Chains A and B, each alone.
Chain A
């Protein structure tokens, strides 16, 4: 408000300096200033539109390709499909085992997401709210896991998991996903629990609730926004996970979506069903993109929350 009353700045020393600040463009060099603003505006839109196209084009190309037959995929990659070959999708879903990969992914991510949130919030709550010897040590042990290269641990981990009989099992993969999701989850939720008021928990405690009950009935409901953020973060991370299953889950029947698709791409080299593969790719992309568009605000909040801490 007050800026509109500010007198216009004195003319610039050098003619090359361009003010776009002038509050009264009509008063001085009107056309020049306005053109400046317009040029910048056109330039901004130009750059932004180009990047938007670069982001969207590969995705549109994939969708288009998934409806074409093999011949036109190779012959004319950018042409529109002659008709919508829905049979590509059917083939991918059944013959290429996309349905199995989906089911495996849903099971693994479902299990590990619940486990991550429960175990992560338990640990974070204790670390945020209770003073005990070793508190800081445990906290940094968890948080340190965020900056270590996971691949280093995967070599021995393979044999740890193998010796426990958990290799190539859904529950084994769930346990590993949880373990590797804990560092960020504990880091994020510890900070979150610290921001919650202590008075409510104390009141519940005075009323005779146990620590455990206070946690589950008072603190967890209060921590819901934080749980949603970190839940979305972990959901995407686990749904899109590629490295962990590639190492620990080599049984073709247990494959999750990402590795299943890569496997498909490798084997298509011999079978030559490229249209089916593209249908599979789009099938794997669309649910996540659709969910993102619907829950856009929450997803962005969930993913950027950690970085803004």
Chain B
């Protein structure tokens, strides 16, 4: 494996690495640089302004709102999604009716069906899902309020996305709806690979199902849960929350900035308001938040790896 090795390596790496450097790495570096300028994005002229953009950001009330919402997304979405997914996966795997002589723990009937259905949202575009729910949330003719009317709850007709106190939760619910299924399938596969003897031993020792879940299932799945946590957090700070907020909310980001998130604010500053340099400043803040989030989750979640 010697002759022409380096020529081969360079030849094979040149194209992918070149493309990646030009379209991904270089813009990242540039945007950090631009955050110290007064570039508008509309004209090619700009000059260095030091930390002006950063000072402006710290005084920008909308920035703080978007930061708070983004953090809320990154905290709530993973917790709710992972908790629901673990619960459903546990039900799928242990909720089966006991058969005489069968294993101590068995999956529910139709578990394959549940897993297929739960996975539906995962294959749909978040843009399409957002549109669908934007209609469902419509206070007058949407599916949700008319369903409420249909079951006699005429008095309960929230404005959903039009209510500043509710809008953010409505948006978050859509993200939960679209991400739970994937993790049910993922955790279910993980649970199925846990040896049945471990459950049986725990049950023989007098543990009930809740204890079994917290003492056996969860520790053995911890690695998967943790990477899911990081993955969902990055999702909640980035592309997915951009799509749901931009498509579903009025403004977008409204009403009254009640749903604006950092990634949307970057987009609006750069491509709507012609303040590209300031947009990259907020983008840098988003980068810091994302990396800090990942670092904290990895750090807090560190445990001894359990082998089985």
User: CB < 8 Å: which of B128, B146, B147 contacts A261?
Assistant: B128
8 A Cβ contacts from B121-170 to A: 121-128, 131-136, 140-143, 146-147, 150
User: CB < 8 Å: which of B31, B98, B119 contacts A37?
Assistant: B98
* Residues A58 and B12 in contact, CB atoms below 8 Å apart: no
- CB of A265 within 8 Å of the partner chain: yes
Whether A62 contacts B203 in the complex (CB less than 8 A), given A148-B290, A155-B266, comes out as: no
Query: How many whole Å from B203's CB to the nearest CB in chain A?
Result: 3
* Residues B131 and A262 in contact, CB atoms below 8 Å apart: yes
Q: Which single residue of chain A is at the shortest CB-CB distance from B119?
A: A300
- CB of B80 within 8 Å of the partner chain: no
Q: CA of A132 to CA of B13 in the docked complex: distance in angstroms?
A: 12
- CB of B276 within 8 Å of the partner chain: yes
Query: How many whole Å from B280's CB to the nearest CB in chain A?
Result: 5
Whether A19 contacts B203 in the complex (CB less than 8 A), given A126-B9, A157-B23, A179-B22, comes out as: yes
- CB of B296 within 8 Å of the partner chain: no
Chain B positions within 8 Å of A180 at CB level: 23-24
Report B229-258 CB contacts with A as 1/0, cut-off 8 Å. Answer: 011001001110011001100000000000
* Residues A47 and B88 in contact, CB atoms below 8 Å apart: yes
* Residues A211 and B4 in contact, CB atoms below 8 Å apart: yes
Q: Which single residue of chain B is at the shortest CB-CB distance from A52?
A: B117
Q: CA of A58 to CA of B12 in the docked complex: distance in angstroms?
A: 47
* Residues A78 and B185 in contact, CB atoms below 8 Å apart: no
Chain B positions within 8 Å of A292 at CB level: 119-120, 123
User: CB < 8 Å: which of B23, B98, B131 contacts A175?
Assistant: B23
Report A278-296 CB contacts with B as 1/0, cut-off 8 Å. Answer: 1001001100110111001
Chain A positions within 8 Å of B75 at CB level: none
User: CB < 8 Å: which of B108, B263, B286 contacts A44?
Assistant: B108
* Residues A179 and B23 in contact, CB atoms below 8 Å apart: yes
Whether A47 contacts B91 in the complex (CB less than 8 A), given A182-B19, A281-B131, comes out as: yes
Q: CA of A265 to CA of B131 in the docked complex: distance in angstroms?
A: 8
Residue tally, chain A, CB below 8 Å to B: 111
Q: CA of A171 to CA of B31 in the docked complex: distance in angstroms?
A: 24
* Residues A242 and B263 in contact, CB atoms below 8 Å apart: no
- CB of B219 within 8 Å of the partner chain: no
Chain A positions within 8 Å of B97 at CB level: 37-38, 41
- Which segment, of B52-60, B204-212, B300-308, faces chain A? B204-212
Query: How many whole Å from A246's CB to the nearest CB in chain B?
Result: 8
* Residues B271 and A158 in contact, CB atoms below 8 Å apart: yes
- Which segment, of A80-88, A89-97, A116-124, faces chain B? A116-124
- CB of A21 within 8 Å of the partner chain: yes
Q: CA of A152 to CA of B30 in the docked complex: distance in angstroms?
A: 10
User: CB < 8 Å: which of B4, B127, B247 contacts A240?
Assistant: B127
What is the total of A-B residue contacts with beta carbons within 8 Å?
305
Report A43-67 CB contacts with B as 1/0, cut-off 8 Å. Answer: 1110110011011111101100000
* Residues A61 and B143 in contact, CB atoms below 8 Å apart: yes
- CB of A230 within 8 Å of the partner chain: no
* Residues A152 and B28 in contact, CB atoms below 8 Å apart: yes
Q: CA of A193 to CA of B155 in the docked complex: distance in angstroms?
A: 61
Q: CA of A40 to CA of B133 in the docked complex: distance in angstroms?
A: 33
- CB of A15 within 8 Å of the partner chain: no
User: CB < 8 Å: which of A76, A130, A157, A176 contacts B146?
Assistant: A76
* Residues B132 and A125 in contact, CB atoms below 8 Å apart: no
Q: Which single residue of chain B is at the shortest CB-CB distance from A177?
A: B23
Q: Which single residue of chain A is at the shortest CB-CB distance from B145?
A: A77
* Residues B125 and A151 in contact, CB atoms below 8 Å apart: no
- CB of A195 within 8 Å of the partner chain: no
Report B65-77 CB contacts with A as 1/0, cut-off 8 Å. Answer: 0000000000000
* Residues B133 and A58 in contact, CB atoms below 8 Å apart: yes
- CB of A178 within 8 Å of the partner chain: yes
* Residues A285 and B124 in contact, CB atoms below 8 Å apart: yes
8 A Cβ contacts from A110-157 to B: 119-120, 122-123, 125-126, 130, 132, 138, 141-142, 145-157
Chain A positions within 8 Å of B142 at CB level: 77
* Residues B283 and A258 in contact, CB atoms below 8 Å apart: no
- CB of B50 within 8 Å of the partner chain: no
User: CB < 8 Å: which of B131, B196, B276 contacts A155?
Assistant: B276
Chain B positions within 8 Å of A4 at CB level: 101
Given contacts A147-B230, A179-B22, A288-B123, 13 further A-B pairs with CB under 8 A are A3-B196, A20-B98, A41-B95, A44-B95, A51-B180, A59-B132, A123-B13, A145-B20, A145-B24, A175-B19, A176-B23, A178-B19, A240-B127
The 5 closest A-B pairs by CB, nearest first: A44-B95, A240-B125, A21-B203, A152-B283, A179-B23
